[in-house]
Amino acid sequence: MNPHIHKEKTGVSNDLILKNIESLTRSTYTGRLVLRMPVIEGFNDTDENIEAVAEFMYSNNLAEINILPFHRLGSSKWNQLGKEYHYANQSPTGEDQLFHIQDIFLSKRIACYVGSDTPF
């Protein structure tokens, strides 16, 4: 949720992402909106960040999130593009951490689905 950390780790700010979500929730759209968040150890898996995501969701009347374990499936694409993949040595997110994060969201009354375990 911190735009400075987001830019440091991804190269871009998260302002547009957050503004797009806010715009959609304030529009006449009546469909189901489930946020999806890859969980990357040391980047966005802190309790502080999860609490901030939950607050953002609450302020935008959002009640569902799908958290996804980090994987390196996109690394070959980066290599083909001749770019350095900064997360090449990043470990996949552990199940214990994913379920801890799920517990935080559930305690905030936000439905939280882990990985492919979703009702949709």
Using one digit for the tens of pLDDT, what is the confidence trace for 38-50? 999 888 999 999 9
Residue 21 has what pLDDT? 97
CATH (domain of 77): 3.80.30.10
Pairing of strands 111-114, 35-39: unpaired
- Mean per-residue pLDDT of the chain: 92
**Phi, psi values for residue 38, rounded to 5°:** -70, 135
> Do the domain assignments include residue 82?
yes
The overall pTM is greater than 0.85: yes
Give the 3-state DSSP-derived string for 14-82, with helices as H, strands as E and coil as C: CHHHHHHHHHHHCCCCCCCCCEEEEECCCCCCCHHHHHHHHHHHHHCCCCEEEEEECCCCCHHHHHHCC
Q: Name the residue among 88, 15, 18, 1 with its Cα closest to residue 53.
A: 1
Range of the domain at 84: 32-114
> Do the domain assignments include residue 17?
no
According to DSSP, the residues that pair with 113 across neighbouring strands are 66
How many Å apart are CA 18 and CA 47, to the nearest integer?
19
Residue 83 has what pLDDT? 86
> Do the domain assignments include residue 83?
yes
